[in-house]
């Protein structure tokens, strides 16, 4: 996972670094990218694996694009979130968007919000992520949530088996 601020300071994350830059439609961005985050990994929820991957970019006009896909085996849930908001504060990215696919059709159209924290180099503590929290449309976006709101819900990201080391964002 990488988190980039508008200052172009690229943070690296070890075991879960993945670049998905080719999946974003270039025409969706209106200007220079000012913030970006991407990554994948898993956590354990009730003894079952929860796997996730995501990418999000924000341009200088404030428009954000991207996607996140989550598979929560504890409750046999899989869904996709189309990103429409990205808020980067220091080494935390808060992301939100619309649920466009879900194993429960009643969840389609809800807003999902999650946060990720890049802890730094490979020898640093594990990176962190929250679960995706669902809200009715129009109630909250990532702009309404800050690091202190997300902090109590952060859990360590567990490296994929066999993955070690770190890699950088392609724009570093």
Asked if the structure places residue 82 within a domain, the reply is: yes
pLDDT confidence of residue 159: 67
Q: Are 129 and 116 in contact (CB under 8 A)?
A: yes
State residue 171's pLDDT score.
35
What are the backbone angles phi and psi of residue 32, rounded to the nearest 5°? -60, 135
More confident residue, 2 or 65: 65
Residue 118 in domain = yes
In a domain, 61, yes or no: yes
The pLDDT of residue 166 is above 50? no
Task: Read off the pLDDT of each residue in 59-86 and give the average, rounded to a whole number.
Answer: 94
Task: Look up the pTM and report it.
Answer: 0.77
Q: What is the pLDDT of residues 99-123, one digit of tens each?
A: 999 999 999 999 999 999 998 877 8
Q: What percent of the chain has pLDDT over 90?
A: 56
20 domain-assigned: yes
In the numeric block, the tokens 């694009």 are attached to 65
Predicted confidence at residue 9, as pLDDT, reads: 28
Instruction: List the domain range (segments joined by +) for residue 118.
Output: 2-145
Coil vs helix vs strand at 73: coil
Range list of β-strands (E), the chain: 2-4, 10-11, 33-45, 48-59, 64-72, 77-89, 92-102, 111-117, 128-129, 133-135, 155-156
Q: Looking at the domain assignment, is residue 52 inside a domain?
A: yes
166 inside domain? no
Q: Do the Cβ atoms of 34 and 6 come closer than 8 Å?
A: yes
Residue 163 lies in a domain: no
pLDDT in tens, 32-54: 898 999 999 999 877 888 999 99
Within-domain flag for 70: yes
Domain count of the fold of the chain? 1
């Amino acid at each position: 996972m990488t988190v980039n601020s508008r200052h172009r300071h690229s943070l690296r994350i070890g075991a879960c670094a993945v670049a998905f830059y080719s999946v974003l439609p270039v025409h969706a961005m209106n200007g220079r990218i000012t913030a970006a985050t991407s990554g994948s990994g898993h956590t354990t929820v009730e003894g079952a694996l929860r796997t996730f991957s995501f990418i999000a970019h924000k341009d200088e006009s404030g428009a954000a694009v991207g996607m996140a896909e989550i598979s929560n085996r504890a409750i046999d849930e899989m869904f996709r979130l189309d990103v429409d908001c990205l808020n980067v504060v220091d080494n935390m990215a808060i992301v939100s968007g619309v649920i466009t696919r879900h194993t429960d059709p009643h969840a389609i159209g809800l807003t999902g919000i999650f946060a990720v924290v890049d802890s730094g180099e490979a020898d640093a503590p594990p990176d962190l992520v929250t679960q995706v929290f669902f809200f009715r449309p129009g109630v909250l976006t990532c702009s309404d949530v800050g690091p202190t709101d997300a902090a109590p819900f952060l859990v360590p990201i567990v490296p994929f088996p066999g993955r070690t080391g770190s890699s950088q964002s392609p724009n570093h």
